[in-house]
A and B are shown apart, each in its own frame.
Chain A
Amino acid sequence: MLSQRQRSKLLPYIYLLPCLILIAAILLYPVLVGIYTSLLDRDMYTMEGVFVGLRNFRRLADEPVFLLALGNTLWWTGTVVAGQYVLGLMLALLLNEDVRGRFVFRALILVPWVVPLAVAAVAWKWIYAEYYGILNHILRSLGIIRHNVAWLANHETAMWSVIAVGIWKGIPFVAIVLLAALQSIPREEYEAAMIDGAGNLQSFIHITLPNLRGISFIVIVLTTIWNFNQFDLTHILTRGGPGNATQLLSTYTYQLFFSAFQFSFAAAVAVVMLVVLMCLTVIYVRRII
């Protein structure tokens, strides 16, 4: 039997154990397989593959799409994360207000998050459609545009159109998480500030924002990771087109892996993605743990 002391020393590990076992088996193990694969020459012809060192990484230079997709991915991730966070925060603040019917709004705004993405993407395609899409119809009747715009077919508009859908999809999640955080800010803090004569804006800056900091870090880090890896939206909406205008590293990896069956090269791209993401996020993570 363990002594009380030994037990309490082990306790943090015991609490973590189920989580760690699952993560090790279901996430860490395949990631390690992936990293190992990136050092082989495994593809559909050589399913076993032999060790080739960093050859796959050197090949990245030969594929102009890679750099293009990397640039697009940074652009996509930056704008989507920023859009989701800013709009999500605004929505959370609104939902936190003490008005009648807020419960209805809180439930309704979940829809973009919970609707099956493959179907929602189809609805978006129709909305964006050049000739019969409702977006052009509305903009035309408001006099904002004169001629129909092919939102997903023009190089100038395709990426922004996809980004808009990405932001749309993520707002509810950010809003709900931040709402939960807003709800746990003790009301006394605001009351004390009011007595001190602080206005709404001041309370927001001095009470709300600092209280949201911890959660905001987590939300931003996670939405960065998810959006960086998001592939199905673009895959369904444009398949990376027109040309490579909306090609992301995630869609590129998908094509390499599941259409071209170039397993090792796809894994090399994935490893690069992992490294880039780590650079982007670990700086933040170190501050919050």
Chain B
Amino acid sequence: MIGNRRTKRLKTAGVYLGLIAFSAVLLFPFLWMISTSLKPDHEVFTQVPRWIPQEPTLDNYRNLLTRTSYPTYFRNSILVSVITTLAAVVIASFAGYSLSRFRFRGRRGVGILILVVQMFPAVLLVIPLFTLMQQLGLLNTHLSLIIAYGTFALPFSTWMLKGYFDTIPTALEESALIDGCTRTQALRQIVLPLAAPGLVTVALFSFVLAWQEYLFALAFTRTEPMRTLTVGLALMQGQHGRISWGEIMAGAFIACIPAVLIFTFLQRYLVQGFTQGAVKG
């Protein structure tokens, strides 16, 4: 018994050690970015690297939020990413469910097509899609980005949800169908709650995809009020001259917050209890 407790404690210690090691490596550049964001310009580069600024300052944050269009970029990115996420989750749920539950002609073809279309380098898609958006009159709208990102998120989301649905026993839905539920009701009321971890993953994925995208955001949006974060940050880097790295790093730091925050709230749906409860209930 005592030995058992000791192994358990040792294991916990090992887990913490592992988690701390991973976090240290994964957060290393990020901490450097935060450190830079708190430095005045003349401290950004020093001969001996300095983690703690000698004269820490919040000027970079103040300038970023008051003297640049950063708040606009941020708002636009939130708008685009949230709507993209909703769209991708809804559309992929239906598509993934279809691939998982039905045996129909062309099923395998569709599954493979969805994967294959994203194997082409994105740079070749820019001009045809730009032309398309121009013809649809969608240039310089957020809608153009939402349509594009929502679609880019579909291959992963559809496959991911198909994979999740595959692991959920069909018995539950079948009894619900016999009880008079429609398919859509069965999907919404029985399957989706059980696939919560998958939905969370897909939502997070779509959000981050939209949040991070640069190439198409640069092409499709044109005026300052429509620009998104990645484009805004890239434009701040300019070509040469007095680039305010502190402000850019501050901007990148703030840009990390929404996704981390969203995931903090969403991750309880990753927990087993949620699905277990539903299975039993």
Contacts and interface: CB of A to CB of B under 8 A. Distances in A.
Given A31-B120, A94-B18, A107-B263, A180 B200 contact: yes
A45 interface: no
Interface residues of B, number: 102
Given A183-B270, A274-B119, A116 B233 contact: yes
A110 B260 contact: yes
Given A27-B117, A222-B156, A118 B205 contact: no
Nearest to A133: B49
Contacts of A99: 12, 15-16, 19
B18 A23 contact: no
A215 B163 contact: yes
A289 interface: yes
Interface of B: 12, 15-16, 18-19, 22-23, 25-30, 32-33, 36, 45-49, 91-92, 94-95, 97-99, 101-102, 104, 107-108, 110-125, 128-129, 132, 147-148, 150-152, 154-156, 158-160, 163-164, 166-167, 183, 197-198, 200-201, 204-205, 208, 211-212, 214-215, 229-230, 233-234, 237, 245, 248-249, 251-252, 255-256, 259-261, 263-264, 267, 270-272, 275-276
Interface stretch (A57-65, A124-132, A149-157, A201-209): A124-132
Contacts of A277: 119
Interface in A213-229: 214-215, 218, 221-222, 225, 228-229
Interface string A167-196: 010011100110111011011000000000
Contacts, number: 293
The 6 closest A-B pairs by CB, nearest first: A12-B102, A180-B197, A19-B95, A30-B128, A15-B98, A119-B252
A113 interface: yes
Chain A's interface size range is 35 or more
Nearest to B243: A122
A71 to B, nearest CB: 18
A184 B238 CA distance: 47
Contacts of A214: 163, 166-167
Contacts of A215: 160, 163
A270 B129 CA distance: 17
A143 interface: no
A178 B115 CA distance: 20
Prevailing SS type, chain B contact patch: helix
B128 A29 contact: yes
A136 B183 CA distance: 60
22 contacts: A8-B183, A27-B117, A30-B120, A30-B124, A111-B256, A114-B212, A115-B33, A116-B233, A116-B251, A118-B230, A119-B252, A123-B36, A127-B32, A179-B270, A180-B198, A181-B197, A186-B276, A218-B160, A229-B119, A250-B121, A253-B124, A282-B116
Given A114-B256, A183-B272, 15 more contacts: A12-B107, A13-B98, A30-B125, A34-B120, A102-B19, A110-B263, A115-B33, A116-B233, A124-B29, A127-B28, A171-B26, A184-B272, A232-B215, A285-B112, A289-B111
A110 B99 CA distance: 30
Nearest to B48: A137
Contact of B151 (A26, A105, A274, A286): A26
